[in-house]
Amino acid sequence: MIRKPLSSRSLRGTRRSLLKGTLAAVVGLPWLESLDVRESKAQDAIPQRFIAMFSANGTIYDQWLPEGGETDFELSPILAPLEAHKNDLVVVEGLTQQGGGGDGHQNGMGGMLTGAELLPGRFAGQGSAPAGWSEGPSVDQRIAQAISGVTTFRSLELGVQTGAADNWGRMCYAGRNQPLAPRENPRGVFDDVFGFALLDPDEQAKRTARGESILDYVRTEFEGLADEVSASDKQRLDLHLTYLRDVERRLAQQALSLDQCSLPDRPPEVDTTNDAFPDTGELMLDLLVLALACGRTNVASLQWSRSVSMVRFTWLGIDRGHHELSHLPDSDDEAQAELVRINTWYAERFAGLIDRLKRYQVEDGTLFDQSLLVWCNELGKGNIHSREKAPYVLAGSAGGALSTGRFLRYPEGTPHNNLLLSLLHTLGIEDSSFGNPDWCTGPLAGFV
Amino acid sequence: MASLIAGCTSDPPAESTRAVTDWACTDGKVSEAPSRRLTRFEYTNIVSDVFGLDDLDLERVLPRDEVALGLDNQAGALSVTDLHVDAYFKAADRVAAALLEKPDRLHQFGGCSEPDRECAKRTVEALARRLLRRSPSQREADKLLTLFENDFAADGVQEGMHRAIAALLQSPDFLYRFERASVDDDANVDDDVAPVTSSPEVLASRLSFLYWGSAPDAELFDAIERGQLSTRADLEREARRMLEDERAERGVLHFFEQWLELTDFDQVEKDRRLFTSWDDEVREQLHQETRLFLRSALWEDDARFATLLGARYSYLTPRLMDFYGLPIDSRPADEFERVDFAKGEPRFGLLTQASLLSRLAKVDQTSPIHRGKFVRERFFCTTPPPPPANIVVTAPQIDPRKTTRERFEEHRANPVCAQCHELLDPIGLAFEHYDAVGQYRADEANQPIDATGYLVDTDVDGPIDGLPDLANKLAESPEVRRCMVTQVFRYAFGRGETERDSCTIDNLAQQFAASDGDLRELLVAVTQTDPFTAPAPVPAAEDLTP
């Protein structure tokens, strides 16, 4: 049951054995292995990075919770794959995920990174009035405002088979009522983030001139409409305009050279079947780290599936869907064991993310040393939709700002808003509160 | 029919009912209609219809649309994000590049091919009209030509055209349907033929997006130019024409597939060790079976709602006949053909199609809850009340010694559970003859299947024995008919109904009943209602929330 962390060798083996269909185009090596240089030159100031990773449906708390004191603790079976990185972790016990509106999965998902409730709306959940998008913004977006610097992408939202566009499937919010959809196609992500830089200079110049003239036309058309439409339409148009300016800004910044890092070939196309889930995820992890390493963004997130994830972990020999399993009673030993294996699998992915970040050398260490990572879940306990005992695992010191190798225990019921606020403080963002102020009683004591 | 619906405004209701309906639609006011962002479905359809480009894989470029009330075109729920705007930029570039590779197609728009300013102008104006769904103003036409940077030689025209097409595809009036008043409002209307008040361009779009999920065609523009898209009779004429067009299959089936919750059917999975006949091919063919059945019922057959629930035929491949336990014939395994079911065969209409049955079941067992909930939501438009908080919500485990009915007994024995499961399980259990993949079974756990159940809290309450009984009750129920009308209304107007719409929905339901549940007539009748014909008042700012 307890799984050892995968060495890169066994990781490679796992992936090779899973290559199927269109993925068979890649032979042998994981995609990123084709990189010849793993070096990212530091930018002017040493940047800080923030990464959020999500997995769904709660955990099995007693198999997740470490044992021991703040600095002398033993990792649990679920967290065992992180053993090699134990000194880089901060595991947090006792937090209650705040949220409101909609059903437990909905408001857990919407509140997880925002610390805010869902607005009234039309997404009908079970056991509650229908709810809309979150009050937002999410903590990654608050951080992006502060640390995105001159990167091409203020933030990069990536997802693996996140399903329908509704509030069960959105965790990042640019602001109130502004969900950010994750990008799901690895090849599309590669093209968006790096494609332009791979063109020859003449083609780049042509595309830039074309793009600028088109966007200039479109922007003024939107601006001209503002007086002709209703108030709510105007809100929407204003949003559209904001994002148009982002596209314009990126167009200008794409022209920056990419000589800070070297790029692999385009990743393979993946299909969207259940069994392509792990391989798609590995590619997304590669892309996420590559985007950070190449200075394309300082803030990224990876959303595995969605709340109420129905993924079937057939590659672990588990045929029933994750959500269905998560609703079985505690007395069902087989289901509990399978859920532990699922959560352990996600711990392996989190370890894989850390591994990748550590492979990139920057001036004073590795990319990982500059980073702050948080792994979160929309629920604590799946079968009762409880948001108490939410399983937060952090990693990375954000350039020495956070002391790691710790197991922090807070009184049960401590609102998770306090953690979100502490994340901001770790990154030097001295806000006094985050999310719904009623749920934020101050930064976690002794955290930073 | 026109007069019945138009009665909302022009014929005051009888004195006795006046008190009831006065607030609803006699004042001619209609509910607010927020602007509608094009959905991915609509965007790709327009590119296909206007440019004949079907192979651009835009599905992978444009984000998925939000689904609210079970539909992907609900204006309030459709968000705009960085990802959308970025996707529009990329998609526009892809479409422009592909069109420029087919110069013949491009030249059709302006009816010219010379690399000069005059031809560029004509082409761009024609493109603008199709994409913006209205005639471009002089200012717009001039501004589009500035994208050519005054270079109307061959290369310059090429580049300029690329920019103009991409710019149009990102214009606000392409990406959104604002339904603003027309630039030219002096439509030629005869006062005594019940003029409608929205601009002809807006009406043309309302028609084409309703039936085709796409932009108006050349014929609609011709009708506008002739001054023949102003009255209810004009709308009815065009509606009937458009419903007979093959594009209607695409648009109308898009609604019905969402009604049946089959949009993501390719994600439905079963335990293949328990159900050895289930594989990717069967799943794909089951999906296709339902599409072909709907197409046939709506266009070749009588389009009656009762036909959807009771037709004794379907469209099957030999592979599916085998799956359904029918005698196989010698066609190729993937060739569909109409199959008429023999008397006694347990297949009749949608409820007995394995697409629906397997969609509403778990990986390894049936799900009376999901099946009951589906009937409540999709046929009665009611959402069952919530399960209580903080209990372990879990389906009973499979036990080979017990039937599904026995395993679900606790729901009704335990009064806490019974509150809501009373509304669900007794309906879902009527489906028990059909297992988790929709195959017929006579017994379970060595006991004959008991498919009895009952309906409560409906207008057709009472005991039911199996699906034939349930299907009959659904086909008879006025509540079910009104629910169908309500869902068509939501799809047509891209929003949920409000109190102000209830007179309209009542009238549509009445008409639907009078036509013996004719779904095609219902789709035509929608165009005769006040919300369809009237200019929409502007909504309040808060309505942006889905």
Q: Helix, strand, or coil here: B1? A: coil
The verdict on a CB contact (< 8 Å) between B65 and A165 is: yes
Looking at the DSSP bridge assignments, the partners of residue A361 are A39, A366
Tokens 């790029």 locate to: A263
* B64: nearest Cα among B290, B327, B322, B263: B263
**How would you classify the pairing of strands A361-362 and A178-179?**
unpaired
Q: Which of residues 397-426 of A touch B (CB under 8 A)?
A: none
How far apart CA B402 and CA B411 sit, in angstroms, is 15
Output helix, strand, coil percentages for chain A, rounded to the nearest 5. 45, 15, 40
Query: Is-contact B487 B381, C-beta < 8 A?
Result: yes
* Phi and psi at residue A175, to the nearest 5°: 180, -170
Query: Is-contact A354 A368, C-beta < 8 A?
Result: yes
pLDDT of amino acid B180: 59
* B396: nearest Cα among B408, B384, B388: B408
Using CA atoms, how far residue A376 sits from A59, A62, A70, A299, B374, in Å, is 10, 17, 20, 16, 33
And the tokens for A413? 């019921």
How far apart CA B315 and CA A356 sit, in angstroms, is 52
Contacts for A331 with CB less than 8 Å, ≥ 6 apart: none
The verdict on a CB contact (< 8 Å) between B392 and A121 is: no
* B428: nearest Cα among B375, B479, B363, B355: B375
pLDDT of amino acid A133: 92
What is the per-residue pLDDT across B157-194, written as a single tens digit (0 to 9) for each? 999 999 999 999 999 999 999 875 433 334 444 444 44
Contacts for A134 with CB less than 8 Å, ≥ 6 apart: A110, A111, A114, A116, A117, A118, A119, A167, A170, A173, A176, A177, A179
Q: Helix, strand, or coil here: A315? A: helix
**Could you write out the DSSP letters of every residue in B129-147?**
HHHHTSPPPHHHHHHHHHT
Provide the CB-side half-sphere exposure for B382 (13 A, CA): 16
The verdict on a CB contact (< 8 Å) between A217 and B163 is: yes
How far apart CA B474 and CA A171 sit, in angstroms, is 40
* A99: nearest Cα among A133, A145, A123, A124: A133
How far apart CA A326 and CA A335 sit, in angstroms, is 8
**How would you classify the pairing of strands B337-340 and B313-316?**
antiparallel
- Nearest Cβ partner for B544 among A177, A188, A218: A177
Mutation target for B interface from A191, A215, A218: give the one with most B CBs within 10 A: A218
Looking at the DSSP bridge assignments, the partners of residue A365 are A362
DSSP state of B210: H
Query: Is-contact A413 A93, C-beta < 8 A?
Result: no
Handedness of CA B337, B342, B345, B346 (dihedral sign): positive
What is the per-residue pLDDT across B431-442, written as a single tens digit (0 to 9) for each? 999 999 999 999
pLDDT of amino acid B198: 77
Show pLDDT as tens, one digit a residue, over chain A (448 residues).
333 332 332 222 233 222 222 332 333 345 665 443 334 444 445 689 999 999 999 999 999 999 999 999 999 999 999 999 999 999 999 999 999 888 889 999 999 999 999 998 878 766 567 788 999 899 999 999 999 877 889 999 999 999 988 999 999 999 998 899 999 999 999 999 998 888 888 998 999 999 999 999 999 999 988 777 877 788 889 999 999 999 998 888 776 656 667 788 899 999 888 999 999 999 999 999 999 988 899 999 999 999 999 999 999 999 889 998 998 888 899 999 999 999 999 999 999 999 999 998 887 789 999 999 999 999 998 888 888 899 999 999 999 999 999 999 999 999 999 999 999 999 999 999 999 999 999 999 999 8
Output helix, strand, coil percentages for chain B, rounded to the nearest 5. 55, 5, 40
Tokens 């697409």 locate to: B355
Q: Where are the beta strands (DSSP E) in B317-396?
A: 337-340
The full length of chain A comes to 448
* Phi and psi at residue A386, to the nearest 5°: -85, 140
- Nearest Cβ partner for B269 among A127, A274, A386: A274
Q: Helix, strand, or coil here: A25? A: helix
pLDDT of amino acid B69: 87
The verdict on a CB contact (< 8 Å) between B163 and A213 is: yes
Q: Which of residues 162-221 of A touch B (CB under 8 A)?
A: 164-166, 174, 177-181, 183, 185, 188, 192, 210-211, 213-215, 217-218, 221
Q: How far is A384 from chain B (nearest CA, A)?
A: 5
Using CA atoms, how far residue B38 sits from A78, A208, B170, B529, in Å, is 44, 27, 11, 23
- Sequence letter at residue B30: V
Which residues does chain A have within 8 Å of residue B69's beta carbon, measured at their own beta carbons? 122
What is this model's ipTM?
A: 0.85
How far apart CA A242 and CA A263 sit, in angstroms, is 30
* A177: nearest Cα among B77, B359, B531, B353: B77
How far apart CA B211 and CA B492 sit, in angstroms, is 9
Query: Is-contact B35 B75, C-beta < 8 A?
Result: yes
- Nearest Cβ partner for A126 among B76, B387, B392: B387
Query: Is-contact B291 B258, C-beta < 8 A?
Result: no
And the tokens for A25? 């185009």
Please indicate if any CB of chain B lies within 8 Å of the CB of A46. Answer: no
Looking at the DSSP bridge assignments, the partners of residue A301 are A52, A157
- Nearest Cβ partner for B271 among A231, A319, A330: A319
The full length of chain B comes to 546
And the tokens for A377? 């879940």
A188-191 long-range CB contacts below 8 Å, 24 or more apart?
A188/B60, A188/B61, A189/A156, A189/A158, A189/A284, A189/A287, A189/A291, A190/A266, A190/A267, A190/A287, A191/A266
Q: Which of residues 249-288 of A touch B (CB under 8 A)?
A: 250, 274
And the tokens for B345? 């065969």
Provide the CB-side half-sphere exposure for A315 (13 A, CA): 18
Chain A with chain B: Cβ pairs closer than 8 A: 190
**How would you classify the pairing of strands A49-54 and A299-304?**
parallel
Burial of A44 (0-12, 13-18, 19+ CB in 10 A): exposed
pLDDT of amino acid A236: 87
How far apart CA A309 and CA A296 sit, in angstroms, is 30
Mutation target for B interface from A243, A331, A333, A334: give the one with most B CBs within 10 A: A243
How far apart CA B445 and CA A361 sit, in angstroms, is 63
**Could you write out the DSSP letters of every residue in A71-118?**
SSEE--TTTGGGGGGGGGEEEEEEEE----SS-HHHHHHHHHTT-SPE
Handedness of CA A129, A132, A133, A135 (dihedral sign): negative
Task: Please state at what angle helix B246-259 crosses helix B200-212, rounded to 10 degrees.
Answer: 70
Looking at the DSSP bridge assignments, the partners of residue A414 are A95
Looking at the DSSP bridge assignments, the partners of residue A115 are none
**How would you classify the pairing of strands A371-376 and A392-395?**
antiparallel
Burial of A18 (0-12, 13-18, 19+ CB in 10 A): middle
- Sequence letter at residue A95: L
Q: How far is B263 from chain A (nearest CA, A)?
A: 11
Q: What is the pTM of this model?
A: 0.84
**How would you classify the pairing of strands A131-134 and A299-304?**
unpaired
* A289: nearest Cα among A311, A320, A316, A263: A263
The list of chain B residues with pLDDT below 50 reads 1-24, 26, 181-195, 538-546
* A267: nearest Cα among A350, A185, A351, A352: A185
**How would you classify the pairing of strands A131-134 and A118-123?**
antiparallel
pLDDT of amino acid A45: 57
Please indicate if any CB of chain A lies within 8 Å of the CB of B59. Answer: no
